[in-house]
Amino acid sequence: MKWTAMLFALIFMAGLGPASGVAGTLRIDGSTTVLPFAQKLVEAFMEKHPEMNISLSGGGSGNGIKALIDGTTNIANSSRFLKDEEVKLALERGVYPVPFAVAYDCIVPVAHPANPVTDLTMARLKAIYMGEIKNWKEIGGVDKEIIVVSRDTSSGTYEVWDEKVMRKERVFAGALLQASNGAVTQAVSRNKYALGYLGIGYLDKSVKALTVNGVPGNEETALSGQFPISRALFMFTKGWPTGDTLTFINYVLNPTKGQKLIREAGFVPLH
């Protein structure tokens, strides 16, 4: 009995060792939306602090928060705030996740570059995603069925869309579901009659960004709140950060360091 207990203790120590705070190592996990700029932040940070060893992975917001609660990561990236279930689980384990808003993300509706439609109102976007408007000709386009492209219902991007555009209504079941920003870009850029939505960091020339209520989605409109579909992106720490975690969070929030990189990565910095 004693033997097995010791064995278990050993396994646990081996498993939890790196995350339980060996100086100079940090683990970051979470949202795939945050991943592109987190990658840049980590690279630049490690260049300035060569003694630091940071491992970064993107298992999704839910997985990141779970890892933070389980103690297997130091920082959880998330494209949304905590859910009730997660708060409950954290409190059960005696963990207090502290949120830091690090950037803004702006979700922009996109269509094929050849599509004549350039602007959609929030009401029309909602009606299209509810399956009420089915044809482009109803909104000033050609007489073709609208191919509605949406994200998997548990992605952070979908949640923002759901919250800002759908407002408690459900995306109709006939919408195509794609599992990543990249897959949405693929689907929309290869279909002349598709309508989708992307995080602003993923916009490129293969798709056409549409204006919403006449407002283009960009840095100023996202921060000023004019653009209606934007959200904050978070880094969560386990309790108030100390040591290396604090150094890193400070770096991320610094206007001339981290925030500059966030802008370069195509996201909207706080300042």
**Residues that bind other proteins in the complex, under the rule CB under 8 A:** 32, 59-63, 65-66, 69, 83, 85-86, 89, 144-145, 147, 152-156, 158-159, 162, 170, 173-179, 183, 186-187, 190-191, 193-194
Token pair of 48 as six digits: 């300035």
Q: Are 127 and 135 in contact (CB under 8 A)?
A: no
Q: Which is nearer to other proteins, 145 or 220 (CB)?
A: 145
Closest approach, Cβ 172 to other proteins, in A, equals 9
Burial of 242 (0-12, 13-18, 19+ CB in 10 A): exposed
Q: What is the rounded distance in angstroms from the CA atom of residue 68 to the CA atom of residue 66? A: 5
Checking phi first, is residue 131 left (phi over 0); if not, alpha (psi -120 to 50) or beta? left
Q: Which is nearer to other proteins, 233 or 253 (CB)?
A: 233
CA quadruple 36, 81, 66, 94: dihedral, nearest 10: 140
Q: Which is nearer to other proteins, 47 or 143 (CB)?
A: 143
Number of H helices and E strands in the chain, helices first, is: 10, 11
Side chain identity at residue 50, one-letter code? P
Closest approach, Cβ 111 to other proteins, in A, equals 14
Q: Which is nearer to other proteins, 158 or 234 (CB)?
A: 158
Q: Are 148 and 195 in contact (CB under 8 A)?
A: yes
- φ/ψ (deg, to 5) at 228: -75, -15
Q: Are 184 and 149 in contact (CB under 8 A)?
A: yes
Q: Dihedral sign, CA of 249, 80, 107, 36?
A: positive
Closest approach, Cβ 234 to other proteins, in A, equals 14
Q: Which is nearer to other proteins, 162 or 244 (CB)?
A: 162
Q: How far is CA 210 from CA 125, 128, 203, in A?
A: 11, 14, 11
Closest approach, Cβ 269 to other proteins, in A, equals 25
Closest approach, Cβ 56 to other proteins, in A, equals 16
Q: Which is nearer to other proteins, 33 or 259 (CB)?
A: 33
Closest approach, Cβ 35 to other proteins, in A, equals 12
Q: Which is nearer to other proteins, 62 or 228 (CB)?
A: 62
Closest approach, Cβ 103 to other proteins, in A, equals 19
